[in-house]
Homo-oligomer: A and B are copies of this chain.
Amino acid sequence: MIKIFAPATVANVSCAFDILGFALDNVGDEMTFTKKNEKGVTISLPENSNLPTDPLKNVAGVVAIEMLQKANTDFGVHIHIDKRIKPGSGIGSSAASSAGAAYGVNKLLGDKFSQTELVEFAMLGEALASGIPHADNVAPAIFGGFALVRSYSPLEVIKVNTPNELFCTVIHPQIEVKTEKSRKILKKGILLKDAVEQWGNIAGLISGLYTNNYDLIGRSLQDKIVEPVRSILIPLFYEVKQAFMQTGALGGGISGSGPSIFALSQGEQTALKVAEAMKQTYAKTNIEFDIHVSAINPVGVKEI
Protein backbone atom coordinates (compact mmCIF):
# COMPACT_ATOMS: atom_id res chain seq x y z
CA MET A 1 0.00 0.00 0.00
CA ILE A 2 1.24 3.49 -0.75
CA LYS A 3 -0.12 6.90 0.14
CA ILE A 4 0.50 9.96 -1.99
CA PHE A 5 -0.10 13.71 -2.20
CA ALA A 6 -1.27 14.93 -5.63
CA PRO A 7 -0.89 18.70 -6.00
CA ALA A 8 -3.25 21.32 -7.30
CA THR A 9 -1.85 23.10 -10.35
CA VAL A 10 -2.20 26.42 -12.13
CA ALA A 11 -2.36 26.08 -15.93
CA ASN A 12 -2.62 28.71 -18.67
CA VAL A 13 -0.02 30.88 -16.97
CA SER A 14 -1.21 34.19 -18.44
CA CYS A 15 0.59 34.54 -21.82
CA ALA A 16 1.41 30.81 -21.87
CA PHE A 17 -2.12 29.63 -22.65
CA ASP A 18 -2.38 25.86 -23.11
CA ILE A 19 1.36 25.16 -22.84
CA LEU A 20 2.55 25.89 -19.29
CA GLY A 21 1.50 25.07 -15.75
CA PHE A 22 2.97 24.90 -12.28
CA ALA A 23 2.31 22.83 -9.17
CA LEU A 24 1.25 24.09 -5.75
CA ASP A 25 2.86 22.84 -2.56
CA ASN A 26 0.18 22.76 0.10
CA VAL A 27 -3.07 22.21 -1.80
CA GLY A 28 -3.84 18.78 -3.21
CA ASP A 29 -5.59 15.43 -2.95
CA GLU A 30 -4.46 12.54 -0.80
CA MET A 31 -4.80 9.08 -2.28
CA THR A 32 -3.95 5.56 -1.12
CA PHE A 33 -3.32 2.62 -3.45
CA THR A 34 -3.63 -1.00 -2.35
CA LYS A 35 -2.83 -4.07 -4.45
CA LYS A 36 -5.58 -6.68 -4.49
CA ASN A 37 -5.71 -10.21 -5.86
CA GLU A 38 -8.78 -9.71 -8.02
CA LYS A 39 -8.03 -7.94 -11.27
CA GLY A 40 -9.63 -4.57 -11.96
CA VAL A 41 -9.93 -1.26 -10.19
CA THR A 42 -12.15 -0.32 -7.26
CA ILE A 43 -12.55 3.11 -5.74
CA SER A 44 -13.64 4.37 -2.36
CA LEU A 45 -14.30 7.91 -1.18
CA PRO A 46 -15.03 9.61 2.14
CA GLU A 47 -18.72 9.42 3.12
CA ASN A 48 -19.54 13.03 2.33
CA SER A 49 -18.16 12.84 -1.23
CA ASN A 50 -20.50 12.90 -4.21
CA LEU A 51 -17.88 11.85 -6.78
CA PRO A 52 -18.52 8.58 -8.63
CA THR A 53 -16.99 5.35 -7.30
CA ASP A 54 -17.63 3.61 -10.62
CA PRO A 55 -14.06 3.41 -11.94
CA LEU A 56 -15.22 4.06 -15.51
CA LYS A 57 -16.75 7.37 -14.42
CA ASN A 58 -13.96 8.45 -12.09
CA VAL A 59 -10.87 10.13 -13.55
CA ALA A 60 -8.53 8.13 -11.31
CA GLY A 61 -10.38 4.96 -12.32
CA VAL A 62 -9.97 5.35 -16.08
CA VAL A 63 -6.28 6.13 -15.68
CA ALA A 64 -5.68 3.10 -13.44
CA ILE A 65 -7.64 0.70 -15.67
CA GLU A 66 -5.65 1.68 -18.74
CA MET A 67 -2.31 1.34 -16.93
CA LEU A 68 -3.12 -2.12 -15.54
CA GLN A 69 -4.22 -3.24 -18.99
CA LYS A 70 -1.07 -1.88 -20.67
CA ALA A 71 1.10 -3.54 -18.01
CA ASN A 72 -0.95 -6.74 -18.33
CA THR A 73 -0.88 -7.35 -14.56
CA ASP A 74 -2.39 -10.32 -12.74
CA PHE A 75 -3.49 -8.12 -9.85
CA GLY A 76 -5.93 -5.27 -9.30
CA VAL A 77 -5.78 -1.97 -7.41
CA HIS A 78 -8.03 -0.34 -4.87
CA ILE A 79 -7.82 3.45 -4.73
CA HIS A 80 -9.06 5.57 -1.86
CA ILE A 81 -9.37 9.24 -2.80
CA ASP A 82 -9.45 11.93 -0.15
CA LYS A 83 -10.45 14.80 -2.40
CA ARG A 84 -9.19 18.09 -1.00
CA ILE A 85 -9.42 20.21 -4.15
CA LYS A 86 -12.90 21.40 -5.06
CA PRO A 87 -14.02 20.23 -8.52
CA GLY A 88 -14.48 23.09 -11.02
CA SER A 89 -12.15 25.43 -9.15
CA GLY A 90 -9.69 25.94 -12.00
CA ILE A 91 -6.70 24.68 -10.03
CA GLY A 92 -6.53 21.26 -11.59
CA SER A 93 -8.90 19.22 -9.45
CA SER A 94 -9.40 16.46 -12.02
CA ALA A 95 -5.72 16.67 -12.97
CA ALA A 96 -4.60 16.02 -9.39
CA SER A 97 -6.64 12.81 -9.13
CA SER A 98 -5.60 11.74 -12.64
CA ALA A 99 -1.91 12.43 -12.07
CA GLY A 100 -2.12 10.92 -8.60
CA ALA A 101 -3.60 7.73 -10.04
CA ALA A 102 -0.89 7.53 -12.71
CA TYR A 103 1.86 8.02 -10.14
CA GLY A 104 0.38 5.67 -7.53
CA VAL A 105 -0.36 2.79 -9.92
CA ASN A 106 3.11 3.20 -11.43
CA LYS A 107 4.64 2.73 -7.97
CA LEU A 108 2.71 -0.54 -7.57
CA LEU A 109 4.08 -1.54 -11.01
CA GLY A 110 7.66 -0.94 -9.91
CA ASP A 111 8.06 2.34 -11.80
CA LYS A 112 7.40 0.66 -15.13
CA PHE A 113 6.45 3.84 -16.98
CA SER A 114 8.36 7.10 -17.62
CA GLN A 115 7.15 10.48 -16.37
CA THR A 116 6.04 11.41 -19.89
CA GLU A 117 4.07 8.16 -20.16
CA LEU A 118 2.44 8.98 -16.82
CA VAL A 119 1.33 12.32 -18.26
CA GLU A 120 -0.17 10.48 -21.23
CA PHE A 121 -2.11 8.15 -18.93
CA ALA A 122 -3.26 11.03 -16.75
CA MET A 123 -4.55 12.84 -19.85
CA LEU A 124 -7.21 10.11 -20.09
CA GLY A 125 -8.62 11.44 -16.83
CA GLU A 126 -8.63 14.96 -18.23
CA ALA A 127 -10.46 13.75 -21.32
CA LEU A 128 -13.13 12.19 -19.10
CA ALA A 129 -13.47 15.34 -17.00
CA SER A 130 -13.56 18.00 -19.70
CA GLY A 131 -13.78 16.23 -23.05
CA ILE A 132 -10.29 17.46 -23.97
CA PRO A 133 -7.16 15.41 -23.14
CA HIS A 134 -5.07 18.44 -22.26
CA ALA A 135 -1.73 18.09 -20.46
CA ASP A 136 -1.04 21.51 -19.00
CA ASN A 137 -2.33 20.58 -15.52
CA VAL A 138 -1.26 16.92 -15.36
CA ALA A 139 2.26 17.71 -16.65
CA PRO A 140 3.19 19.99 -13.70
CA ALA A 141 1.36 17.63 -11.33
CA ILE A 142 3.65 14.78 -12.47
CA PHE A 143 6.90 16.69 -13.12
CA GLY A 144 6.60 19.37 -10.43
CA GLY A 145 7.71 22.98 -10.75
CA PHE A 146 6.91 24.76 -14.01
CA ALA A 147 6.20 22.24 -16.77
CA LEU A 148 6.03 23.14 -20.43
CA VAL A 149 4.02 21.06 -22.90
CA ARG A 150 6.08 21.76 -26.01
CA SER A 151 4.28 19.34 -28.25
CA TYR A 152 1.35 16.90 -28.19
CA SER A 153 2.33 14.60 -31.03
CA PRO A 154 4.58 13.23 -29.83
CA LEU A 155 3.95 14.42 -26.29
CA GLU A 156 6.96 16.30 -24.96
CA VAL A 157 7.07 17.85 -21.51
CA ILE A 158 9.97 20.05 -20.43
CA LYS A 159 10.57 20.87 -16.79
CA VAL A 160 11.52 24.53 -16.68
CA ASN A 161 13.61 26.02 -13.87
CA THR A 162 11.61 27.38 -10.90
CA PRO A 163 13.05 30.39 -9.05
CA ASN A 164 12.88 29.44 -5.39
CA GLU A 165 11.52 32.71 -4.01
CA LEU A 166 8.41 32.42 -6.17
CA PHE A 167 5.12 32.10 -4.27
CA CYS A 168 1.60 31.79 -5.57
CA THR A 169 -1.63 33.22 -4.21
CA VAL A 170 -4.89 31.82 -5.58
CA ILE A 171 -8.42 32.96 -4.91
CA HIS A 172 -11.22 30.56 -5.76
CA PRO A 173 -14.58 32.31 -6.01
CA GLN A 174 -17.18 29.61 -5.48
CA ILE A 175 -19.08 30.05 -8.70
CA GLU A 176 -19.21 27.49 -11.45
CA VAL A 177 -17.30 28.06 -14.70
CA LYS A 178 -17.38 24.99 -16.95
CA THR A 179 -14.09 24.35 -18.79
CA GLU A 180 -16.17 23.56 -21.84
CA LYS A 181 -17.95 26.91 -21.79
CA SER A 182 -14.82 28.94 -21.14
CA ARG A 183 -13.24 27.16 -24.10
CA LYS A 184 -16.21 27.74 -26.38
CA ILE A 185 -16.21 31.51 -25.94
CA LEU A 186 -12.63 31.82 -27.20
CA LYS A 187 -12.22 33.14 -30.70
CA LYS A 188 -10.88 30.54 -33.13
CA GLY A 189 -8.92 33.17 -35.02
CA ILE A 190 -6.55 35.80 -33.66
CA LEU A 191 -4.47 38.57 -35.19
CA LEU A 192 -0.89 37.71 -36.12
CA LYS A 193 0.30 40.93 -34.49
CA ASP A 194 -1.34 39.93 -31.20
CA ALA A 195 0.20 36.46 -31.47
CA VAL A 196 3.64 38.02 -31.99
CA GLU A 197 3.19 40.20 -28.89
CA GLN A 198 2.13 37.10 -26.96
CA TRP A 199 5.11 35.04 -28.04
CA GLY A 200 7.46 37.83 -27.03
CA ASN A 201 5.99 37.56 -23.56
CA ILE A 202 6.16 33.76 -23.54
CA ALA A 203 9.84 33.89 -24.48
CA GLY A 204 10.31 36.56 -21.76
CA LEU A 205 8.55 34.42 -19.16
CA ILE A 206 10.67 31.35 -19.95
CA SER A 207 13.82 33.51 -19.89
CA GLY A 208 12.80 34.97 -16.53
CA LEU A 209 12.22 31.50 -15.07
CA TYR A 210 15.65 30.24 -16.19
CA THR A 211 17.51 33.34 -15.00
CA ASN A 212 15.58 33.82 -11.73
CA ASN A 213 14.68 37.29 -12.97
CA TYR A 214 11.52 38.04 -10.99
CA ASP A 215 10.83 41.41 -12.59
CA LEU A 216 11.09 39.93 -16.07
CA ILE A 217 8.65 37.19 -15.06
CA GLY A 218 6.28 39.90 -13.89
CA ARG A 219 6.58 42.04 -17.02
CA SER A 220 5.98 38.97 -19.18
CA LEU A 221 2.75 37.91 -17.44
CA GLN A 222 0.52 39.62 -19.98
CA ASP A 223 -2.21 38.04 -22.04
CA LYS A 224 -4.09 40.03 -24.66
CA ILE A 225 -5.72 37.01 -26.26
CA VAL A 226 -7.45 34.74 -23.76
CA GLU A 227 -7.78 36.82 -20.59
CA PRO A 228 -9.91 39.61 -22.09
CA VAL A 229 -12.45 37.00 -23.23
CA ARG A 230 -12.52 34.60 -20.30
CA SER A 231 -12.38 37.26 -17.61
CA ILE A 232 -15.98 38.24 -18.38
CA LEU A 233 -17.04 34.99 -16.67
CA ILE A 234 -15.24 35.92 -13.45
CA PRO A 235 -16.80 38.58 -11.19
CA LEU A 236 -14.38 41.36 -10.17
CA PHE A 237 -11.51 39.88 -12.18
CA TYR A 238 -9.92 43.23 -12.99
CA GLU A 239 -10.51 44.58 -9.48
CA VAL A 240 -8.68 41.56 -8.05
CA LYS A 241 -5.89 42.04 -10.56
CA GLN A 242 -5.54 45.72 -9.73
CA ALA A 243 -5.49 44.84 -6.03
CA PHE A 244 -2.71 42.27 -6.34
CA MET A 245 -0.61 44.45 -8.63
CA GLN A 246 -0.88 47.36 -6.20
CA THR A 247 0.14 45.02 -3.37
CA GLY A 248 3.40 44.14 -5.10
CA ALA A 249 2.62 40.89 -6.92
CA LEU A 250 4.77 40.28 -10.00
CA GLY A 251 1.72 39.49 -12.12
CA GLY A 252 -1.00 36.92 -12.55
CA GLY A 253 -4.15 36.01 -14.38
CA ILE A 254 -6.85 33.38 -14.69
CA SER A 255 -5.94 29.99 -13.26
CA GLY A 256 -6.79 27.30 -15.80
CA SER A 257 -10.14 28.18 -17.31
CA GLY A 258 -11.22 29.93 -14.12
CA PRO A 259 -12.94 30.95 -11.97
CA SER A 260 -9.78 30.92 -9.81
CA ILE A 261 -7.40 33.85 -10.16
CA PHE A 262 -3.68 33.45 -9.42
CA ALA A 263 -0.89 35.89 -8.65
CA LEU A 264 2.84 35.21 -8.44
CA SER A 265 4.99 37.10 -5.93
CA GLN A 266 8.62 37.18 -4.92
CA GLY A 267 8.68 35.99 -1.33
CA GLU A 268 6.02 34.58 0.97
CA GLN A 269 5.43 37.90 2.75
CA THR A 270 4.22 39.56 -0.44
CA ALA A 271 2.13 36.51 -1.35
CA LEU A 272 0.39 36.77 2.05
CA LYS A 273 -0.30 40.48 1.56
CA VAL A 274 -1.71 39.67 -1.87
CA ALA A 275 -4.04 37.14 -0.22
CA GLU A 276 -5.28 39.88 2.10
CA ALA A 277 -5.86 42.26 -0.82
CA MET A 278 -7.76 39.60 -2.77
CA LYS A 279 -9.85 38.85 0.30
CA GLN A 280 -10.79 42.50 0.78
CA THR A 281 -11.81 42.79 -2.86
CA TYR A 282 -14.05 39.74 -2.78
CA ALA A 283 -15.47 40.59 0.64
CA LYS A 284 -17.47 43.31 -1.17
CA THR A 285 -19.43 40.58 -2.97
CA ASN A 286 -21.76 37.93 -1.56
CA ILE A 287 -19.75 35.20 -3.31
CA GLU A 288 -17.98 32.72 -1.05
CA PHE A 289 -14.31 32.11 -1.75
CA ASP A 290 -11.20 30.19 -0.68
CA ILE A 291 -7.69 31.61 -0.76
CA HIS A 292 -4.47 29.60 -0.90
CA VAL A 293 -0.91 30.84 -0.49
CA SER A 294 1.71 28.34 -1.60
CA ALA A 295 5.32 27.88 -2.63
CA ILE A 296 5.84 26.24 -6.00
CA ASN A 297 5.99 22.48 -5.52
CA PRO A 298 9.30 21.34 -7.00
CA VAL A 299 8.57 17.60 -7.27
CA GLY A 300 4.89 17.15 -8.15
CA VAL A 301 3.05 14.07 -6.87
CA LYS A 302 4.91 12.49 -3.96
CA GLU A 303 4.63 9.66 -1.44
CA ILE A 304 3.63 10.72 2.05
Chain A interface (Cβ < 8 Å from any Cβ of B): 15-20, 148-151, 156, 158, 160-161, 186-193, 195-207, 210-211, 216, 219-220, 225
Contacts and interface: CB of A to CB of B under 8 A. Distances in A.
Given A150-B219, A203-B19, A204-B150, A187 B192 contact: yes
Contacts of A15: 199
Given A195-B195, A210-B210, A216-B158, A203 B16 contact: yes
25 contacts: A17-B196, A18-B196, A19-B196, A19-B199, A19-B200, A148-B200, A150-B216, A150-B219, A151-B197, A151-B200, A151-B204, A156-B219, A158-B203, A160-B203, A160-B207, A188-B192, A189-B190, A189-B192, A190-B195, A192-B225, A195-B198, A195-B199, A198-B199, A202-B202, A210-B211
A206 B202 CA distance: 9
B16 A199 contact: yes
Contacts of A216: 150, 158
Contact of A149 (B20, B186, B200): B200
A150 B220 contact: yes
Nearest to A226: B192
Nearest to A216: B158
Contacts of A199: 15-17, 19, 195, 198-199, 202
Contacts of A200: 18-19, 148-151
A65 B251 CA distance: 40
Contacts of A187: 192
A192 B230 CA distance: 14
Contacts of A195: 190, 195, 198-199, 225
Contacts of A206: 203, 206-207, 210
Contacts of A18: 196, 200
Contacts of A19: 196, 199-200, 203
